[in-house]
Amino acid sequence: MSVPRAKILIEKLISNRLSTEELAELLAGTHDEAVQQAYSDELEVYFNQLLAEESHKRRKLAD
């Protein structure tokens, strides 16, 4: 699987738009080190986005 395809699959997973076939493809990609890194990178970006959003909400509440 290509790295761009891996990123697309993770984005679809996060947005809850992943089909059964795509889930199987995503899971099959876990055996490829480059794909694992792409998954990790995309999930890290998503996690950091969630942290930033939560931090922003907390700052607004504190004001």
| pLDDT confidence bin for 62, thresholds 50/70/90 | confident
Alpha-carbon distance 51 to 38, whole Å?
20
Contact 1, 25 (CB under 8 A): yes
Helices assigned H by DSSP within the chain: 3-14, 20-28, 33-62
Beta carbons of 32 and 1 less than 8 angstroms apart: yes
**What integer is the mean pLDDT of 17-31?**
96
Mean pLDDT of 40-56: 95
